Structure 1
């Protein structure tokens, strides 16, 4: 018994020494690197106009997977699991959760701890406002130039909610040398309703919300907050600026938004600094406790110490799909373009989860008025835009599955033809069916690929004994997506237009190719 306990302790020590240091390096290295990057490029100087929401939420949720995948995941191979993929992912999730908490808390601390406070009797005392936080003893506003702007964004797993974010502003009475208003007092009021109700009901609920929001703004106690924040690049700042620009003739060339903050300035940091280490301690403790249970894989440990890499890695093979080659050449190019354009949108300031209509239209979304008004290029550009990261991931999944069946049959050129023609037909169906719907996404083109698969089931493209399996695999995907489209918030016209055009074009391309091959043989 004693020998067994000693052996288990030795095994745990080996696991700890091999994995724990990497966990620590990855967690603190990623957190510190992110904070340094933010300090240098967005706080100490505004070299990069990256919105705060990226650092506060989205970067902490996404960035940890890169170091975890590159450095921590290989170390976990010395742990023996009955279900290696699933249980290895559990340990990666613990590390991810730890890093997410550390990065969110540390970014919150960086924001509040580095912003200096300037105390003024009134905003008139400010000549060049180079500060993050303000105390104002006297607040004088021009109540005759109030303005408002509302952003509408869908949220939830299936876009089941519709959010109203109304931004109300009044200018401070102080004017710049040109007689324009530079400083604007902003108050945000929001609400959320179901996105599945009828458009008329949405309009009624919005009007009721907006009228109540106006009343709340008019009775707001503008002098009550202890301190104010000069808003940096963020979604809220853009919302307030949109409200300000309704009074464009009175606005300075570089308006500054000042927003009241809850609580006392002295308590703004709270215990954020302690919780950076507290969140790490909790996550690291859970991770170390979890190391007790899996067995120790000594041969794999020895291989890693010798620098011998595994013969195959599913994740690496999946990432290689992004490199254009072999039978997924065209698909990889399309995937890369979609991902690249999405990244450009995000770093230009577009909301990563639920971009609003104006943002999407600026990038080339499809809507009847703009497209038929001369912007016919939107029929294609909209195919490479996505309404948030979940929309992108779902389309990537659908594209890869369809491409595995289609590209090997048609080859690169005909595959491109099928993809783009189906996408354009889907876009045309959208503007024909919907008068004022803003449409984005590769769904029309992807449904064209699925339509081609279904159409080819009527030909000899697939083996007879495999057609039933293909139909059982593809059919539910198409059917479920079309049914979800009936619940609202999804451009079903583009789906149906792409599906039908893809089925017809797929059969035409396949039959013409077979005829061409037959003529060559006869010749």
Structure 2
């Protein structure tokens, strides 16, 4: 009896169906509902959380019964059954996460604008190319965040968020309203997002962390002042995410009369035609590596003959 062919037919084929179903099926759902904002949720949910949780029911109720056909008990008393399921789960979620990152960065309509004032705030698209614009760095809205991360909060992340008002030209005019002149820079049509982040050890002394924080702020300011931001190829509208909320905090504080949902555009310096290409490579690479590892793991274990003799419908 060719036991390898049985493993491919009874076990490995189910793994491949779950993998392709998770990647392709959820990607299509993402494109139709999350990217179009029909279901408005944060990017972290559909880029990480859902792809991590989605394969679990299929693994438990569809792959797990077939995996019980194999003798995974070791002579030392250890059972590798749960280990096999965990490896299969990792092999499934990696390409699925990369797929959603690819969808976020590659799927969407490109709109070409002569000036930023011509942006349609009622019908926003994912990508923009603007022929003429001016970035008013002098009136940027800055928000600084410090957040612990890691399993035991052993890391501390500093991030500076700068939302730069985008205009057609550097000339600022004013208009009279109730005997008060309001400059145009209080009402930009859109903002360009710039951020800088640094991670340090959260177990350092308070004095050391304070010194590193001040150094980070100084470095961020110098980078912001010196950096030539204009060299981008296109702009990508920032979706609902924690980064967007942090940008919005700064905008709401500095520009209290701004819209409740400001348009935030992130500069992209790679050619528009190549957007998401590295994520597409990571999808294929992670799928190949994960599928190969799990296939190799299926080769050594022997079948439980008493289980193999049962009808397939009963397995």
**Into which bin does the TM-score normalised by the smaller protein fall?**
0.7 to 0.9
- Equivalent in the alignment of 2:198: 191
Q: What aligned pairs does 1:71-470 form with structure 2 within 5 A after superposition?
A: 71-83=62-74, 86-128=79-121, 130-173=124-167, 180-270=187-277, 272-273=279-280, 275-303=282-310, 305=312, 307=314
**Alignment size in residue pairs:** 298
Q: What aligned pairs does 1:10-29 form with structure 2 within 5 A after superposition?
A: 10-29=2-21
Unpaired runs of 5+ in structure 2? 178-183
- Equivalent in the alignment of 1:68: 59
- Equivalent in the alignment of 2:47: 56
Measure how far apart 1:296 and its partner are.
Answer: 1.0
Contact 2:159 2:196 in 1 (8 A): yes
Measure how far apart 1:271 and its partner are.
Answer: 5.3
TM-score of the pair, normalised by structure 1: 0.53
Greater share of residues in helix: 1
Measure how far apart 1:21 and its partner are.
Answer: 2.0
Contact 1:41 1:48 in 2 (8 A): yes
Q: Deviations over 1:309-337 (max 9, x none)?
A: xxxxxxxxxxxxxxxxxxxxxxxxxxxxx
Larger radius of gyration: 1
Measure how far apart 1:199 and its partner are.
Answer: 2.7
Q: Deviations over 1:49-99 (max 9, x none)?
A: 211122223333343333212211221111012338642233223322321
C-alpha separation in 1, matches of 2:211 and 2:129 = 39
85 and 118 in structure 1: CA distance in 2 versus 1, 3 angstrom threshold: farther
SS at match of 2:125: coil
C-alpha separation in 2, matches of 1:287 and 1:133 = 39
Contact 2:116 2:166 in 1 (8 A): yes
- Tell me which of the two structures has the higher relative contact order, counting C-alpha pairs closer than 8 angstroms and 6 or more residues apart: 2
Contact 1:181 1:252 in 2 (8 A): no
63 and 152 in structure 1: CA distance in 2 versus 1, 3 angstrom threshold: farther
SS at match of 1:214: helix
C-alpha separation in 1, matches of 2:78 and 2:195 = 45
Contact 1:139 1:223 in 2 (8 A): no
SS at match of 1:154: strand
SS at match of 2:132: coil
Contact 1:147 1:170 in 2 (8 A): yes
What is the root-mean-square deviation in Å for CA atoms of aligned residues? 2.6
Measure how far apart 1:277 and its partner are.
Answer: 4.3
Measure how far apart 1:35 and its partner are.
Answer: 1.6
Select between 227-236 and 193-202 the one with higher mean Cα deviation.
193-202
209 and 79 in structure 1: CA distance in 2 versus 1, 3 angstrom threshold: same
Measure how far apart 1:197 and its partner are.
Answer: 2.1
1:35 aligns with 2:27: yes
- Equivalent in the alignment of 1:333: none
C-alpha separation in 2, matches of 1:304 and 1:288 = 24
